[in-house]
Amino acid sequence: MASHEERLKRCLAGEVVDRVPVSLWRHFPVEDHSPALLARAVVSFQETYDFDFVKITPSSSFCVTDWGSRDQWNGNPEGSCEYVQYPVHHFEDWENIRPLSPAKGALAGQLECIKLIRQNLPKGTPIIQTIFNPLSQAKNLVGKSNLPVHMRLSPEEVLKALRVITETTIEFIQSAKKLGIDGIFLAIQHAQAGILSPAEYDEFGIPFDLEVLKEVKDLWLNVAHLHGNDVYFGKISQYPVDVLNWHDLETPPDLTTAKLLFPGAVCGGLRQWETLVNGTPESVTAEARKAISCTESHRFILGTGCVLPITAPHSNILAVRQSVDL
């Protein structure tokens, strides 16, 4: 039997695999505010389900805490925290966003988390670190509804801050690479028609995304995640990444169409809520097998469109893992 790394590399190369690769990932609220606790939770999750790669999912605040953002856990069933404090209120506040060092603060804490996970997982288990793209980080500095307003009314200030955010992100990635990550999971939240126009994403999103991806071109398992509905799939499918992940059962394109648009592997096939939370092991298996069939087990990784809700039953998660062995 192939190792996780061997299986994924064959999948990415478009070769025949012994079975379809599979991975799910989730938030670990409360634990995700402690590097040691998050590492322990991630390792335990992997030891339970033996997925083909491990995606480290810290709270989104890990990269913006030292700029003054604050979040707290309020019981969201996806496991994500809610922001209670933003450092940017006025246009001129963007000038306070200065470069951060990955050697201290929350960034250093996340690097320690990566180190602990790498030390406690078997060799051959690929690990990827979540990286929120610069625009997503900017959102968590000013607030979801405020960001488009600032972009449109004070574009130069926002662009200047995005350059600083990108520089800081790249320095963090450089440190993370030294700890043995196999790739990044680039979380993209604003490439949606309901949030920004195509021209706005071209100006405020793409250039900074590509700078980040340039830093990981020597890694082999880089995933781009397109969050939300009515996504600009055509734009992101041009990115130099190995895997694309999006809510494929909720917004176009479907998996089959996506494989015509993107030369790498596609990851999805399972619905977060209807199937993984509210379904049964039987319905999980049926949906998984349908996705495997429509992709012909080729350039396909079984997963969900986003994070696994923390309310998903153990038996349903187990059914996902077992469905690729049938």
pLDDT (tens digit, 9 = 90+) per residue, 42-78? 999 999 999 999 999 999 999 999 999 999 999 999 9
Exposed, middle or buried by CB within 10 Å (0-12, 13-18, 19+), for 167? middle
Band the pLDDT of 86: cuts 50, 70, 90.
very high
Band the pLDDT of 1: cuts 50, 70, 90.
confident
Domain range for 40: 4-323
CB atoms within 10 A of CB 36: 12
Q: How many domains does the chain have?
A: 1
Buried b (16+ CB within 10 A) or exposed e, 210-238: ebbbebbeebebbbbbbbbeebbbebbbe
DSSP annotation of 75: -
Measure the CA–CA gap between 270 and 124, rounded to whole angstroms. Answer: 26
| Stretch (H or E) spanning 246 | strand 243-246
The domain that holds 30 is classified in CATH as: 3.20.20.210
Measure the CA–CA gap between 67 and 64, rounded to whole angstroms. Answer: 5
DSSP annotation of 253: P
- Respond yes or no on whether the N-terminal peptide bond of residue 253 is cis (omega within 30° of 0): yes
Nearest to 258 by CA among 210, 229, 295: 295
Q: What is the pLDDT of residues 258-270, one digit of tens each?
A: 999 999 999 999 9
Q: What is the pLDDT of residues 122-180, one digit of tens each?
A: 999 999 999 999 999 999 999 999 999 999 999 999 999 999 999 999 999 999 999 99
Residue 72: strand pairing partners:
82
Task: Identify the sign of the CA torsion 214, 218, 219, 222.
Answer: positive
Return the half-sphere exposure (C-beta side, CA atoms, 13 A cut-off) of residue 53: 30
